[in-house]
Copies of this chain bind each other. A is one copy, B any other.
Amino acid sequence: MSENLDKLLEKLKPLLGDRLSVAQAVRQHHGEEMTHYDVCLPDAVAFPESTEEVSQIVTLCHAHDIPVIPYGAGTALEGHFLAVQGGITLDFSRMNRIIDIKPQDMDCTVEAGVTRMQLNQEIRHTGLFFPIDPGANATLGGMTSTRASGTNAVRYGTMRENVISLKAVMADGTIITTGSRAKKSAAGYDLTRLLVGSEGTLAIITEITVRLYGMPEAMSAAVCPFNSLEGTVDTVVDVIQMGIPIARIELIDDFLVDLINRFSGLDYPVEPTLFMEFHGSENAVQEQAEVVEEIAISHGGHGFKWATQPEDRTRLWQARHDGFLSVRAAFPGKDFWVTDVCVPISRLAECISETREDIKDADIIAPLVGHVGDGNFHLTIPYNKNDPQDVEMIEQINARLVERAIRMDGTSTGEHGIGIGKKKYMALEHGPALDFMKFIKKSLDPKNILNPGKIFDL
């Protein structure tokens, strides 16, 4: 590859000037995840400024058989942007323009490097907002590529439901637009949904048109501690089954509540707790909240602690989002294994309960947090990645977790994606369908240059 790489870099230099870097520090920054994966550097990092430039770069990479890896905000959790076969990382930080806001159609087109917080800041004046919130301030490109979701998905859906159309560069450099701005279409294959969640392996997404929503008239958040973890899950199941359009309903186990209290200087009761949010008209919010509080109390909830002021709500959700940081702060010097699964809501109680048993049997610490309205939950496990015994045990816990979720008609990952970490479970989850995913990959990227080594091996 080295000779090809040299030739490629020679051609990229005049195109990009100092927006192409082979500096160790830059490569390091783009080759290191915040979780347990080993550092894995690209050969160079390019900072394109337009779709046309991405197309030129990909065309050259294609001609020279060099991998291309898209890079957003670097918040991936399963090794998505690690350059496992070397190649050129495309850093989208210079493609961060809001291209078009259409308040009348409640949609917006952005470049792939726009982050979700930037988007919400820049559309604030329209009275609209973009609800998908995976916690981290990820880019829209990254969120699209991993089919991200997060706390609001229970009401607003995931990136699958909220991406309207895409501009993307295919493996040979061709620029395509998928879908249209119509709200629905029956015109051919749904390339938009095929690219959403494809983790940069089928195309490099450069522009995204997303749905926006009217800022609700009223928003209200509440925290409710429970006697037992079972009570929280039973509450969630009832709320969902009653069709209450709750905007957020998040489970945090007692262990994590304790860590969050310490990290954020808060004093929530150290019990399994639901963090919730209600959106709607004043009436609707009150109506929903009353019903949910009643359900919660019937399952051992101690009643709601309200946060109706914007600053209180922000503090509450910041605390929730700092879950990972609070675990990290509590275990200095440790490495962290982060994982998520998702099951049908009817199996959630059983899945969480078996998982907690497994954690208990293994005698490890594994704070549990979940977007439980979707049947999705996470573990963050402190461990020592240089201790082979530790690694083996965590890998087995993770394997059992994934197998349990799949056995319960669920999935190996609700929102983190496959990356390199969960490739080994793809066959178990998808069976013969996996072959057809590979056929599609081969047909769209015959040279396997687009983020190779992710989702599955060929």
Enumerate chain A interface residues (CB-CB to B < 8 A): 102-107, 146-149, 153, 157-158, 160-161, 170, 174-178, 180-191, 193-194, 196-198, 202, 213-214, 237, 240-243, 281, 283-284, 287, 342-346, 374-376, 405-406, 409-418, 422, 425-426, 429-437, 439-444, 455-456
A168 — nearest CB in chain B belongs to which residue? Answer: B433
Taking a contact as CB atoms closer than 8 A, the residue among B189, B240, B345 that contacts A197 in the complex is B189
Residues of chain B with a CB closer than 8 A to A158's CB: 184
Complex Cα gap A214–B243 (Å): 6
| Count of identical protomers in the assembly | 2
Residues of chain B with a CB closer than 8 A to A180's CB: 406, 409-411, 429
Complex Cα gap A405–B186 (Å): 13
Residues of chain B with a CB closer than 8 A to A406's CB: 180
Residues A160 and B193 in contact in the complex (CB < 8 Å), given A102-B346, A436-B176: yes
Residues A432 and B197 in contact in the complex (CB < 8 Å), given A281-B287, A416-B186: no
**Min CB–CB distance A168 → chain B (angstroms):** 9
Complex Cα gap A158–B187 (Å): 13
Q: Write 6 A-B pairs (CB below 8 A) sorted by A numbering.
A: A103-B241, A158-B184, A180-B409, A182-B342, A188-B429, A189-B202
Complex Cα gap A441–B189 (Å): 9
**Min CB–CB distance A186 → chain B (angstroms):** 4
A148 — nearest CB in chain B belongs to which residue? Answer: B186
Residues of chain B with a CB closer than 8 A to A214's CB: 241-243
Indicate if the CB atoms of B186 and A147 lie closer than 8 Å: yes
Taking a contact as CB atoms closer than 8 A, the residue among B176, B345, B432, B434 that contacts A188 in the complex is B434
Indicate if the CB atoms of A344 and B443 lie closer than 8 Å: no
Indicate if the CB atoms of B197 and A194 lie closer than 8 Å: no
Indicate if the CB atoms of A160 and B187 lie closer than 8 Å: no
Q: Can you name 4 extra interface pairs (CB under 8 A) apart from A180-B409, A184-B374, A189-B194?
A: A183-B345, A184-B376, A188-B434, A188-B455
Complex Cα gap A105–B374 (Å): 10
Residues of chain B with a CB closer than 8 A to A344's CB: 102, 104-105, 107, 181-183
Indicate if the CB atoms of A188 and B437 lie closer than 8 Å: yes
Residues of chain B with a CB closer than 8 A to A185's CB: 147, 342, 411, 413-414
Residues A432 and B160 in contact in the complex (CB < 8 Å), given A241-B104, A344-B182: no
Indicate if the CB atoms of B414 and A186 lie closer than 8 Å: yes
Residues of chain B with a CB closer than 8 A to A104's CB: 237, 241, 344-346
Indicate if the CB atoms of B243 and A181 lie closer than 8 Å: no
Residues A146 and B186 in contact in the complex (CB < 8 Å), given A105-B346, A194-B194: yes
**Min CB–CB distance A197 → chain B (angstroms):** 6
Complex Cα gap A174–B437 (Å): 14
Residues of chain B with a CB closer than 8 A to A213's CB: 243
A176 — nearest CB in chain B belongs to which residue? Answer: B433
**Min CB–CB distance A3 → chain B (angstroms):** 30
A-B pairs, top 10 by smallest CB distance, nearest first, are A193-B193, A443-B443, A185-B411, A104-B346, A214-B243, A176-B433, A181-B409, A182-B342, A186-B417, A182-B410
Residues of chain B with a CB closer than 8 A to A147's CB: 184-186, 190
Indicate if the CB atoms of A440 and B437 lie closer than 8 Å: no
**Min CB–CB distance A406 → chain B (angstroms):** 7
Indicate if the CB atoms of B178 and A433 lie closer than 8 Å: yes
Indicate if the CB atoms of A153 and B184 lie closer than 8 Å: yes
Indicate if the CB atoms of A197 and B191 lie closer than 8 Å: no
Indicate if the CB atoms of A444 and B437 lie closer than 8 Å: no
